[in-house]
Amino acid sequence: MPKKNRTDWLDRLADRAFRATISALHLLPWRARIRTMGWFCVHLLGPVAGYTRRAEENLAFVYPDMDRPTRRAVARAALDNMGRTIIENYSPREQLRDTAVLKPSGPGWPAIEAARRARRPIIFVSAHFGNWQAARAALNQRGYDIGGLYRPFNNPYANAHYVESIEQVGGRAYARSRRGLAAFLRTLKDGGQAAMMLDQYVADGAMLDFLGQLAPTSLSAAEMALRHDALLVPIYGVRQPDGFSFEMVIEEPIPHTDPVEMTQALNDSLADQIDAHPGQWFWMHRRWKPHRVAARRAREAAEAEADGEDAEV
């Protein structure tokens, strides 16, 4: 039962409005439904919510030589992909039908099959790129049981709806909370599989390169892989040029070394996918927050200098 708060009525209203929108879209034929949600995000949500501007700012930050028309085109493609992904993920029956035909590709496929047969745990790492749920839905129909670690929404009613959409394509939804992480770890200890994202800003994360810029990044996926001897596998559902179908790409498992090196390899894997398909990543994310990164680096430099002076004394 969602916990009530002072804005409970607003949360309920927002959730009902969203559910009504999804229900209305479900009256449309499948492909028209996907196109319509893409159009909505490009022409209405993106400009009104400031996502278009933020996407273009991020593109200018990462690709300073990219001209403005190209930035605008990539931002629009990213918003279109976001809208398509949202309605696809809230249409589990059709999503399961379409992903059932996906054939795994990439060098990681034999490795994960061997790990599954041996009951060795697998941590799949993806990002807000293409449709991250497409590959998970496809593998779950091939005998896997891949749940997902997610960041709970502030709106508890929308969160309940989101969890339902995750679990309807198989696997369990693990909240980023003490209880959720404990369940996630139990799955790994039992030799199971789970998935997580690695493309969001984490204030106290390691300062790692992502698309040529420093981005605070969580080391948790690599740390858990080392602790539980789990395969750490980048996986992507790459949207195809028709806008509706996908290629499931399973990359080579990341070698076990140390958390920083392994996580950098994950960042590099995603960067390669984004460079190849720039319109498929959610450029609307506040991934870098350069002012906060600069302030943190200045603070850490001052602390290091102070520690050095104390050592001399």
pLDDT in tens, 165-213: 889 998 899 998 899 999 999 999 999 999 999 999 999 999 999 999 9
- 82-133: pLDDT as tens digits: 999 999 999 999 999 999 999 999 999 999 999 999 999 999 999 999 999 9
Q: How many CB atoms lie within 10 A of CB 257?
A: 12
Taking residues 153-160, what's their average pLDDT?
88
Q: Is the pLDDT of residue 134 over 70?
A: yes
What's the CA gap between 76 and 25, in Å, rounded? 21
Q: Which residue has the higher pLDDT, 169 or 311?
A: 169
Could you tell me what percent of the chain has a pLDDT over 90?
79
Residue 2 has pLDDT above 70, yes or no: no
Better pLDDT: 300 or 124:
124
97, 102, 100, 94: which is closest to 25 by C-alpha? 94
Count each helix (H run) and each strand (E run) in the chain, helices first: 13, 8
| AA identity, residue 61 | F
Amino acid at 104: P
Number of Cβ atoms within 10 Å of the Cβ of 268: 15
| pTM for the whole structure | 0.91
Q: Residue 164, CB half-sphere, CA atoms under 13 Å: how many? A: 10
Percent of the chain with pLDDT over 70: 96
Instruction: Name the band, by pLDDT with cuts 50, 70 and 90, for residue 3.
Output: low
Pairing of β 213-217 and β 206-210: antiparallel
The answer for residues whose C-beta is within 8 angstroms of residue 98's C-beta and 6 or more apart is 244, 245
Question: What radius of gyration do the chain's Cα atoms show?
Answer: 20
> Which amino acid appears at position 230 of this protein?
A
* pLDDT attached to residue 6: 55
Q: Which residues on neighbouring strands pair with residue 234, listed in sequence order?
A: 125
